[in-house]
Structure 1
Amino acid sequence: MSTLPGVCRRAAPVVEIRGLCTEFDDVVIHRDIDLDIEVGQMLGLVGGSGSGKTTLLREIVGLLAPSKGTVRLFGEAVLDADPERRRRLRRRFGMLFQQGALFSALSVHDNIAFPLRELHTLDEAMITDLVLLKLGMVELEARHARLMPAELSGGMIKRVALARALSLEPELLVLDEPTAGLDPDRSENFVKLLRMLQRELGFTVVMVTHDPETLAGLATRLAVLADQRIVACGTAAEVAAVDHPFIRNFFSSGRAAAVRQGTS
């Protein structure tokens, strides 16, 4: 697919955004954004500080309503007026927040169990089995289930938050700065874990990150948010060919050279 300014379109999208505008008071954050993310895609959303990347993530999952336009997940409106349809839709995606956002008063077990208990269909024995299964998926042990968030390292917090995000076996995983705060070795290991899980489970990913190594390790496509819109979307080679100041600066970095290779 050739790179087109302002649009990224694929068949049967998991995420479909049309004409999205975001304003806070008199400040325009997004203007007429169109973006599609297809099944199995791992899309990296990049842009300068204050460009509205995290705001767009929150609109994708319905945590924030845009001023104008539509957002659909799996063909359904994120802000559907029917509460039951919205609950069913929320079960189909998981979100990993920048700092993990674990409940500080709950143990690791109860953090991961929280969305499972919200289903009101599983007994505690089944929930415990599922919690231990998810811990194993993120390469943690059963003994870690007893720990409190304050007892966890930064890398462990990320893994527990990932286990919670995957607890309902989502079809879409939304990542906000997934490796922020991790040292290079822990960041590399976390990227490898995410890549392995995506290959095994086949979920779609949309993520915001400032880290070129994370983009190179995970993203199959890039979307660039600048000037209040998506200015380019495609492989790194396609995006790099677009003449835009942010894109030129981004790819002029030595660290960003790996991104071009990683998503080509």
Structure 2
Amino acid sequence: MSAFPVELKGVSTRFGRQWVHKGIDLAVPAGEVVALVGGSGSGKTTLLRQMVGLLTPDEGELRVFGEPLFSGSRQMQLARRRRFGMLFQHGALFSAFNVFDNIAFPLREFGVVDEGLLRDLVLLKLAMVELEPEVARRMPAELSGGMVKRVALARALALEPELLLLDEPTAGLDPDLSAAFVALIRSLHQALGLTVILVTHDLDTLAALATRVAVLSAGRILAFGTLDDIMNVQDPFIERFFHGIRSQAALARGQGAG
């Protein structure tokens, strides 16, 4: 793996006349869990979607595993895309597919296994996210919110990626389910040697998972470092986001869980 699986150099993005990002520079070290935080409209999810090629910045360069995301032949681009997986905020499961076919979808799409091996691989991914084999027969509408997240995570891990991107992974979960999902992500990060980038507004999640934090503000990376580094930055946004009474309590809970 590249020393920096994701690198952004001078990335700028606008919607209409409004610049959301202006000259973002960020290098995500291999093996880290990097949390992207910022206020509403700061472009956190936009940045995450650009990292996987769902959106294209207006200016600047974005490199994945040391190479421009869209460089090379179609085969080279597909091979690069197999090296990362993404968990969308609400799971984004295919409603017409059962759980088995949702997890099998990327395996079939990339043609990496024959149908004879498919069943074993899908059940392995279900086990990795702590779900029983019989869940494979269920439709997404039959799943609880926590199960949807786990099935979506299993699908994101189907191709055994090196890089995992998570958009608000604990959004919509109650505190107990959220803590259990965070613990699962933490154990998978350690067991699989993943690099993880997540967008979150939840300070419990951030404190329990993140090894580094990137703070987006006013279209740029305001600060990047460990949580302790960030807490020592003198800035009005950081003061509001990290130093309020409720924020301090959440960070304490999260660090205790981690």
- TM-score > 0.5, shorter chain as reference: yes
Q: Which residue pairs with 2:10 in the alignment?
A: 19
Q: Which residue pairs with 1:36 in the alignment?
A: 27
Q: Following superposition, which runs of at least 4 residues in structure 1 exceed 3 angstroms of deviation?
A: 258-264
For 2:70, the aligned partner's letter is: L
5+ residue gaps, structure 1, are: 1-10
**1:255 CA displacement:** 4.0
Q: Which residue pairs with 1:86 in the alignment?
A: 77
Tell me, yes or no, if the aligned pair for 1:213 and 1:255 is still in contact at 8 Å.
no
For 1:164, the aligned partner's letter is: R
5+ residue gaps, structure 2, are: none
For 1:251, the aligned partner's letter is: F
Q: Which residue pairs with 1:116 in the alignment?
A: 107
**1:80 CA displacement:** 2.0
**1:81 CA displacement:** 5.4
Q: Does 1:162 align with 2:153?
A: yes
What is the rounded CA distance, in whole Å, between the counterparts of 1:12 and 1:259 in structure 2? Answer: 29
Q: Does 1:192 align with 2:186?
A: no
User: Helix, strand or coil for the counterpart of 2:120?
Assistant: helix
What is the rounded CA distance, in whole Å, between the counterparts of 1:57 and 1:71 in structure 2? Answer: 11
Q: Which residue pairs with 1:232 in the alignment?
A: 223
User: Helix, strand or coil for the counterpart of 1:167?
Assistant: coil
User: Helix, strand or coil for the counterpart of 1:231?
Assistant: strand
Tell me, yes or no, if the aligned pair for 1:219 and 1:262 is still in contact at 8 Å.
no
**1:226 CA displacement:** 0.2
1:168-219 CA distances to partner (integer Å, 9 max, x unpaired)? Answer: 1100000000000001100000000110111100100000011111101110
Name the structure where helix makes up a greater proportion of residues.
2
Report matched runs for 1:132-151 at 5 Å: 132-151=123-142
What is the rounded CA distance, in whole Å, between the counterparts of 2:75 and 2:114 in structure 1? Answer: 22
Q: Does 1:153 align with 2:144?
A: yes
Q: Does 1:243 align with 2:234?
A: yes
What is the rounded CA distance, in whole Å, between the counterparts of 2:161 and 2:55 in structure 1? Answer: 20
1:30-58 CA distances to partner (integer Å, 9 max, x unpaired)? Answer: 00000000110000000000000000001
User: Helix, strand or coil for the counterpart of 2:159?
Assistant: coil
For 1:225, the aligned partner's letter is: L
User: Helix, strand or coil for the counterpart of 1:69?
Assistant: strand
For 1:105, the aligned partner's letter is: A
For 1:244, the aligned partner's letter is: D
1:219-255 CA distances to partner (integer Å, 9 max, x unpaired)? Answer: 0110000010000000111111111111011122234
Tell me, yes or no, if the aligned pair for 2:93 and 2:140 is still in contact at 8 Å.
yes
Change over 3 Å in CA distance of 1:137–1:173 after alignment to 2: same
User: Helix, strand or coil for the counterpart of 2:40?
Assistant: coil
**1:74 CA displacement:** 0.5
User: Helix, strand or coil for the counterpart of 1:29?
Assistant: strand
User: CA RMSD for the aligned pairs?
Assistant: 1.6
User: Helix, strand or coil for the counterpart of 2:229?
Assistant: helix
User: Helix, strand or coil for the counterpart of 1:125?
Assistant: helix
What is the rounded CA distance, in whole Å, between the counterparts of 1:234 and 1:256 in structure 2? Answer: 18
User: Helix, strand or coil for the counterpart of 2:76?
Assistant: helix
Tell me, yes or no, if the aligned pair for 1:236 and 1:259 is still in contact at 8 Å.
no
Tell me, yes or no, if the aligned pair for 2:53 and 2:69 is still in contact at 8 Å.
yes
Report matched runs for 1:2-17 at 5 Å: 12-17=3-8
**% identical equivalent positions:** 58
Equivalent position to 1:103, from 88, 94, 97: 94
Between the two proteins, the alignment pairs up a number of residues equal to 254
